[in-house]
A and B are shown apart, each in its own frame.
Chain A
Amino acid sequence: MRTLSALRLTTTLAVGAGVLGLYLAGLLGAVGLGFAGLALVAGWWLQERITPSRRVAALITAVIALAAALDLLYLSTVVFDAFVRLLVLLVLLRLVTARRPRDLRDAGMLAFFMPVASSAVTVSVDFVFVLVAYVLASMTMLVLAHDLGEAERAGADAAALAELRTGPGVVLIGVAGSVVAAGVTLALFFVIPRVGEATLAFRNPSQRMLIGFSDRVELGTIGQLETDATVAMRVHLPAGPPPPTLLPHIRWRGVALERYDGTAWSTDRPRGRAVRSFGGGSLEVQPVRGPGTYLQQAIFLEPIGAEAIFAAPHAVRLWARNGVAVVDEAGAISVPTPSARLQYGVDSLVGPGPWGGRLDADARARHLQLPPLPPRIAALAREVTAGTRTQAQAAQALTVFLSRDFRYTLTLERRTDLDPLEEFLFVRRSGNCEYFSAALAVMLRTLGVPARVVNGFQRGEWNPYGEYFLVRMGDAHSWVEAHVDGAGWITLDPSPRGEGGLEPATASVSLWLDAVRVRWYRYIVGWSRQDQVQAAVALQRVATRPWRLPWRDLAVPAGAAAAGLVAAAVVAWVAWRRLAAWGPARAAVSRPPDFYRRALRVLARAGLRPAPSETAREFAARVADSAPAATEAMRGLTASYEAVRFGGQTPDARAMEAVRALRAALRRG
């Protein structure tokens, strides 16, 4: 392939990768992507045929300057976006109007600012794929540009440069360089000192979850989400998969709502208290009293725009990047900084409950509030709970009644003009989780049991490759918490929407890829000074822990063992270098030159082989006796052999000529 064409191709690919990165980061729309793609293709097509004149280039530059000024002053709402568009235009301009190899290289190098711009607004794992593509293309581009530059320095004109050809070796250098650079990049990335917590840059958070997890949630809102397979969050359990006894109690609690107006749930409880931590420590969320098991969670939440954060009930401690959270009396936690909601850690005490103590009068009144209701709802509650002695038994009876006698469906069309709950309980007898939880909470309140609706997520799918729960939008869920017998809160889930065990339902490849994504969030996007300290401490611990050698009772400190290994490696390397230095000299003595060995093979085919004790001249004389036609050829061959072997000379054309003459002579003879 022509080197110039290869340079154009790799530059186009590098720029293309940068543009794609901008698109995936949301900095470039579909129109922008299409325009850039069209420009790249057109540029490629044009460059292979014509070189644009300086006048055309100047004209395009003027148009771009005008467009950028208009964009900056009037069109763009965000200055950063305008600069990104200007960058794209400049790179494309440089690429399309390139006249010399260095122009192409400059375009490729300028495209480096595209991943830089993307990094300011994205945390997606897509970034790394784009970056890898850019690095592969740009490294090969740099090698090709270097080759052409060297040819230019050697005096090659444009025509000669156009005829210069390149082989796959350059691509190999580019790929090898990229692989090594990737390794060095990772090593540097982890050790470059951080000065604080990692900040998580993102923009344009999805607004759709706000409707399900805000302070006011209409009935049926959650149902809109339940068909969505988009990933909402990932909950990594550092201690591994939870025990089966804990599974029924694991769900991801978000907002708690206690005011019901007949069509929607909302809250009117006092604003929560702020909890803070300093120096990267944990936030003590709330004191929790109750039986249960501690569950440690590292949560990676997709940017969803809701202030609430999700965790297994009941959260005890929280690790948030900004060190501030707001906790209300219902135990709902919100983190005001959007980037701090993307990664956080929670310790929860998980179990059947009851949790907490007595309710004060004000809270009790709020959790017993009811709108005007059809009387038959309260009558139904009394009918179902007839015969129960305690509030807990009544609550269980209602839960069983709903989950057993009602059907779960996402088809929520209204058939009557009745109150939504009345229609659900007496006409449709089917609905989604919100109807079940709302019906249970309302019926409990008619019985004088304080209750509230909680919105969050079901447990999700267990990913064994990353040891985390993969929670999708479709796992959005609603359930009930009731304060029974003055003892505390218990969790009730009347919805017949069941969950199985830990067996994954998704294909292994998808889960594996998703596990990669989690590691990306954990170890790249979220790598912080605290992680560096922990890694250093772990290294120190490993280095100072004694290694007990299996074959003798001798404990060697790991640090000393590592130092010994390094020293041994250095000695081995030095020895290898020395041997390598001796190698060619020894080879020169013990190994005849290539042309002479080739001649020996020719002679061997004719049945003539040198005896071990025979010198080259003696062998030549014997060959001359056996094949007189080869006498001259053998003489020349032997002279060349001696000159190379013992005279330190380089084999020249005469040596190869002698081999050819020998072959011809033996054929004739």
Chain B
Amino acid sequence: MAPEWPPAVFRPRRTIRPTREGWWCLAIAILLGLTSVNSGNNLLYLLESLLLALIIVSGVMSEQSLRGVRLRPLLPDAVFAGQSVMLGAVVRNAKRRLPARSIALETADGARVIAFPWLGPGVEQVAAWPHTFMRRGRQRLPGLRLTTRFPFGLFAKRGRVRFEQEVIVFPSPAVVSDGRLHDTQGGDGIAARRRGRGHTLRELREYRPGDDPRLIHWRVSARTGTTVVRELEAEATADVRIVLRGTGARDPRRLERGLSVAAGLALRAAAGGAAVSLAGAGVSVPAGRGREHAHRILTALALYAPAEAVRADAPAASAGREIVVDLD
């Protein structure tokens, strides 16, 4: 990624841009200044001073409004590359006595997120806005701009808000077909077919007390006159081991596609209740179940770097059911 220029240290903390009326005000100030110098009329000098004072007072009051406004980010549970996610922040006026008037939050591209006409001293409000992270990996939260046109609407003063927090952006999960999920390579190749909460229909049977009402097959029940429920197969009845083949160092696009497929597989398998593990060059996550474990695998995929993978050992052979994903 190209470094930002100028560096953050040298970028102004605040930027001021005149509004339409502000440009008029500046133009009049310049003309009046020239007229004052040309005529030597002190009353014109007085009016010129008044205009300049108006600009200064505007700057001081807008600074007073922006100062002391603090933002605390609210992070989403999971963030996937290429998918819109709602980011949030708690906006707090940390000033002890003065309100923050007429402040607005804008994204870096100038889109207004939310505006607060009045934020009393010590008062908090929550703001949320959609954002799409385009790449996987560890990324800093996007900054915001705190904007105000207070008090006269002549100048828009903006302050940069930089969040120090980072977010792990998971690879965009590819849509995985059932066939792909059951397409095993290596291991015993036999999946124990048993009842579960998958998507594949195993059989229809009569309703028994305790069955989930959502599984009632209403159409068949109506036709047969007895309550019939669907019995589903567990989709991943055996442990799923996702193996990343290759390092992905040759073709970044193939690498990203592979990681995306791996993420889709991991999510799909975890949702089916299977224990999922991940293995690949330089990456290894032991088997585990549940949402948090899925996030561990997604984190490993998000942070996968081909350069490190090259140096790592090749994945060890596994006795479990394996789904191989090519990265090269």
Give A residues with C-beta under 8 Å from B: 105, 109, 112, 115-116, 118-120, 122-123, 127, 131, 135, 139, 142-143, 145-147, 149-151, 153-154, 173, 177, 180-182, 184-186, 188-189, 192, 194-199, 201, 524-527, 583-584, 650
Contacts and interface: CB of A to CB of B under 8 A. Distances in A.
Contact of B53 (A120, A149, A173, A184): A184
B32 A116 contact: yes
Given A116-B47, A192-B48, A181 B115 contact: no
Interface residues of B, number: 40
Contacts of A123: 43
A600 B245 CA distance: 66
Contact of B43 (A112, A182, A188, A201): A201
Contact of B57 (A122, A131, A151, A184): A184
B56 A184 contact: yes
B44 A119 contact: yes
B52 to A, nearest CB: 5
B209 interface: no
Given A154-B115, A177-B151, A185-B46, A194 B53 contact: no
A180 B49 contact: no
7 contacts: A105-B153, A112-B47, A119-B41, A177-B151, A180-B57, A185-B50, A192-B45
B157 interface: no
Is chain A's binding surface mostly helix, strand, loop or mixed?
helix
B102 A524 contact: no
A131 B49 CA distance: 12
B42 interface: yes
B133 interface: no
A523 to B, nearest CB: 9
B153 A149 contact: yes
Contacts of A147: 102, 117
Is chain B's binding surface mostly helix, strand, loop or mixed?
helix
B115 A146 contact: no
Across the A-B interface, give the 5 residue pairs with the lowest CB-CB distance, nearest first.
A119-B43, A184-B53, A146-B153, A188-B49, A142-B152
Nearest to A25: B43
B49 A195 contact: no
Nearest to A135: B50
A150 B40 contact: no
B242 interface: no
A177 B149 CA distance: 15
A153 B115 contact: yes
Given A149-B153, A199-B41, A525-B43, 9 more contacts: A118-B43, A127-B43, A146-B150, A181-B50, A184-B56, A185-B52, A192-B49, A194-B45, A195-B37
A149 to B, nearest CB: 5
A149 B117 CA distance: 11
Nearest to B103: A150
Contacts of A584: 94, 96
Contacts of B151: 142-143, 146, 173, 177
Interface string B181-195: 000000000000000
B39 interface: yes
Contact of B40 (A115, A131, A198): A198
Contacts of A120: 39, 41, 44
B43 A195 contact: no
B28 interface: yes
B141 interface: no
Given A142-B153, A147-B117, A524-B46, A188 B41 contact: no
Interface in B97-149: 102, 112, 115, 117, 124, 149
A180 B60 contact: yes
Interface in B10-56: 21, 24-25, 28, 32, 36-37, 39-50, 52-54, 56
B303 interface: no
A199 B60 contact: no
Contacts of B152: 139, 142-143, 146
Interface string B54-66: 1011001100000
Nearest to B151: A143
A119 B150 CA distance: 30
A196 B46 contact: no
A650 B122 CA distance: 10
Contacts of B90: 650
Interface of B: 21, 24-25, 28, 32, 36-37, 39-50, 52-54, 56-57, 60-61, 90, 94, 96, 102, 112, 115, 117, 124, 149-154
A198 B102 contact: no
Nearest to B114: A154
B26 to A, nearest CB: 13
A105 to B, nearest CB: 7
A172 B112 CA distance: 29
A131 B42 contact: no
A525 B96 contact: no
A192 B25 CA distance: 19
Contacts of A189: 42, 45-46, 49
A439 B53 CA distance: 61
Contacts of A146: 102, 149-153
Residue of B36, B43, B50, B117 ringed by the most chain A CB atoms within 10 A: B43
B103 to A, nearest CB: 10
Contact of B42 (A143, A180, A188, A527): A527
Contact of A181 (B32, B39, B57, B154): B57
Contact of B41 (A112, A142, A198, A650): A198
A119 B47 contact: yes
B47 A188 contact: no
Nearest to A189: B49
Nearest to A199: B40
B215 to A, nearest CB: 39
A184 B52 CA distance: 8
A185 B53 contact: yes
Contact of A526 (B42, B44, B57): B42
Nearest to B96: A584
B97 to A, nearest CB: 11
Nearest to A116: B47
Nearest to A106: B21
Contacts of B150: 146
Contacts of B102: 146-147, 150
A285 B200 CA distance: 118
B3 to A, nearest CB: 31
Nearest to A583: B96
Contacts of B56: 181, 184
Contacts of A131: 46-47, 50
A185 B49 contact: yes
Contacts of B124: 650
A146 B47 CA distance: 22
A118 B41 CA distance: 11
A584 B50 CA distance: 38
A197 B40 contact: yes
B40 A195 contact: yes
Contacts of B149: 146, 149-150
Given A122-B43, A123-B43, A135-B50, A177 B115 contact: no
Residue of B46, B54, B90, B102 ringed by the most chain A CB atoms within 10 A: B46
Nearest to B42: A198
A139 B51 CA distance: 11
Contacts of B49: 184-186, 188-189, 192
Contacts of A192: 36, 45, 48-49
Contacts of B52: 184-185, 188
A374 B135 CA distance: 119
A158 to B, nearest CB: 18
A153 B104 CA distance: 11
A306 to B, nearest CB: 23
Nearest to A149: B153
Nearest to A120: B41
Contacts of A524: 42-43, 46
A595 to B, nearest CB: 13
Given A146-B102, A150-B102, A150-B115, A112 B28 contact: yes
A195 B47 CA distance: 17
